Amino acid sequence: MTKLPVAFYAGFLVVALLLAGVVSYAASSSPDGLDAVTQTGCQLDEAGEPVGGTCIAQNAGEHATAGSPLADYTVGGSEGTTGIAGVIGVLVTLVAAGGLFWVLRRRSSEDETPSRVE
Amino acid sequence: MEPHTDLVAMHMSDGIVNAPTSVIFGLVAVLGLALCVARARGDLDDRTAPMAGLVAAFVFAVQMLNFPILPGVSGHLLGGALCAILVGPYVGAICVSIVLLLQALLFADGGLSALGTNITNMALIGTFVGYGVAVALRRVATRSRGGLVVVAFVAAWVNTVVASLGFVLEYAIGGEGLALGTVFGLMTGFHALIGIGEGIITALTVGAVAAVRPDLVYLTRGAAPSLTIKDQGVRS
């Protein structure tokens, strides 16, 4: 039996939670490289919606899950809740991905010859 | 009431490319991920499965951290090279895909019909290109931790720029609104800058993991003299 590096896992998770829960408030709110390209050629209103000109973003539809309680990395659309939404996102991702990988993994019992024979 | 819809959206929305293009790249994503799931099993065990879950959660966290690259333009981690170096390309592509799926379903970030293009660009192209660069430079990566950090930076920079070319290709097939040459120039120009941030984040992360648990770095695992000494025949 190999000992799992539980302390390392815990430290890694704490770093992710701090980044999503605290550091996220310092993130730039400017459009990212992709959005800057799709908005090129349009005038935007205060909400960042194209209102004039011609650009790729005009073809974009309203998001199908825009009514989600976590939409736009907020909790219920409330300002200042980005960190809470981020922490929820980290935990949900960990459970979803970790759960999938745990199910997919090779069981150690499959690989080891029985060593308990006395 | 429209909330500030676009301010925190980071990935392609629905309608940016036309429906046939979305379907084509949806199929590419499904086939690519099916291959990844089939191959991932060989890279997952009791130690690496929790690590891979944590890497996915870490990528979700860091993708929230947009950093400025030019006045009025930001960038964020894509995560392909980071995942590939830490947990391998097959598991890594699944990590990025799960992040993109949850962002689209829960956070209204990246359109549902654009999941195929977003997964193709960031999860498949980004991860496998990043891994290819890292493998090509593996001799540098295994020489020292400094070498590994440099390789992580280079792989991440290339993964960012090539992933942005995935968008240019999809736009060329089924997009409209801006001249293709302009899209190409702006996408690669912005992502050459974003790639520097991606490279720094990837280098710091891989360097930190390698300092504490070098056995959890997929790229260099098995390169160092193996510590699993077989004890058969030792006892008389």
Give the per-residue pLDDT at A46: 79
Asked if residue A101 is part of any domain, the answer here is yes
Give the per-residue pLDDT at B6: 41
In this complex, which of B5, B67, B95 lies closest to A72 when CB atoms are compared? B5
One domain, residues A43 and A69: no
**Subunit contact A30:B16, Cβ cutoff 8 A:** no
pLDDT at B27 over 50: yes
Residue from A35, A59, A93 to probe the interface with B (highest B Cβ count within 10 Å): A93
- Contact residues on chain A for B37, CB-CB shorter than 8 A: 104
B168 — contact with chain A (CB < 8 Å)?
A: no
Give the per-residue pLDDT at B236: 41
**Subunit contact B73:A54, Cβ cutoff 8 A:** no
One domain, residues A58 and A74: no
Q: How confident is the model at residue B223 (pLDDT cuts 50, 70, 90)?
A: low
Angle, in degrees to the nearest 10, between helices B89-106 and B19-40: 130
Structural domain total, chain A: 2
Q: Are B150 and B50 in contact (CB under 8 A)?
A: no
Give the whole-angstrom CA distance, residue A61 versus residue A45. 16
**Subunit contact A68:B37, Cβ cutoff 8 A:** no
Q: Are B14 and A64 in contact (CB under 8 A)?
A: yes
Q: What is the mean pLDDT of residues A72-86?
A: 95
Q: Which amino acid is at B62?
A: V
Q: What is the pLDDT of residues B71-128, one digit of tens each?
A: 999 999 999 999 999 999 999 999 999 999 999 999 999 999 999 999 999 999 999 9
Domain that holds residue A98: 65-106
Which of A95, A29, B205 lies closest to A87 in space, CA to CA?
A: A95
Q: What is the mean pLDDT of residues A29-50?
A: 89
Which of A38, A41, A32 lies closest to A59 in space, CA to CA?
A: A38
How far does A65 lie from chain B, in Å, by closest CA?
5
B182 — contact with chain A (CB < 8 Å)?
A: yes
Q: Which two tokens stand for residue A45?
A: 């209103």
Q: How confident is the model at residue A28 (pLDDT cuts 50, 70, 90)?
A: very high
> Which region among A14-28, B52-66, B161-175, B219-233 has the lowest average model confidence (pLDDT)?
B219-233
pLDDT at B1 over 50: no
Taking the CA atoms of A53, A59, A63 and A64 in sequence, report the sign of the dihedral they define: positive
One domain, residues A102 and A83: yes
pLDDT at A26 over 50: yes
Asked if residue A19 is part of any domain, the answer here is no
Give the per-residue pLDDT at B5: 40
pLDDT at B232 over 70: no
The burial class, CB within 10 Å (0-12 / 13-18 / 19+), for B124 is: buried
Q: Are B175 and B19 in contact (CB under 8 A)?
A: no
pLDDT at B3 over 60: no
Nearest CA in chain A to B163: A34
Count of CB pairs separated by less than 8 Å, A with B: 278
Give the per-residue pLDDT at B21: 97
Give the per-residue pLDDT at A50: 82
B157 — contact with chain A (CB < 8 Å)?
A: no
Which are the contacts of B195, defined by CB distance < 8 A and separation ≥ 6?
A: B156, B157, B158, B159, B160, B161
- Contact residues on chain B for A15, CB-CB shorter than 8 A: 58
Q: What is the mean pLDDT of residues A42-68?
A: 87
Q: What is the mean pLDDT of residues B212-230?
A: 75
> Which region among B136-150, B154-168, B170-184, B219-233 has the lowest average model confidence (pLDDT)?
B219-233
**How many CB atoms lie under 10 A from the CB of residue B214?**
14
Asked if residue A27 is part of any domain, the answer here is no
Give the whole-angstrom CA distance, residue B96 versus residue B88. 12
- Contact residues on chain B for A108, CB-CB shorter than 8 A: 45-46
How far does B129 lie from chain A, in Å, by closest CA?
19
Asked if residue A5 is part of any domain, the answer here is no
**Subunit contact A92:B216, Cβ cutoff 8 A:** no
Q: What is the mean pLDDT of residues B152-169?
A: 98
Report the half-sphere exposure of A26 (CA within 13 A, side-chain side).
6
pLDDT at B213 over 70: yes
Asked if residue A18 is part of any domain, the answer here is no
Q: Which CATH class is domain B19-216?
A: mainly alpha
Give the per-residue pLDDT at B166: 97
Give the whole-angstrom CA distance, residue B129 versus residue B132. 5
Nearest CA in chain B to A48: B6
Give the whole-angstrom CA distance, residue B217 versus residue B213. 8
Q: Are A97 and B95 in contact (CB under 8 A)?
A: yes
One domain, residues A69 and A46: no
**Subunit contact B74:A91, Cβ cutoff 8 A:** no
Given the structure tokens 């191959």, which residue do they identify? B39
Give the per-residue pLDDT at B103: 97
pLDDT at A37 over 60: yes
Q: Are B150 and B203 in contact (CB under 8 A)?
A: yes
ipTM of this complex prediction, to 2 decimal places? 0.90
pLDDT at B7 over 50: no
Asked if residue A10 is part of any domain, the answer here is no
Asked if residue A89 is part of any domain, the answer here is yes
Q: What is the mean pLDDT of residues A57-84?
A: 92
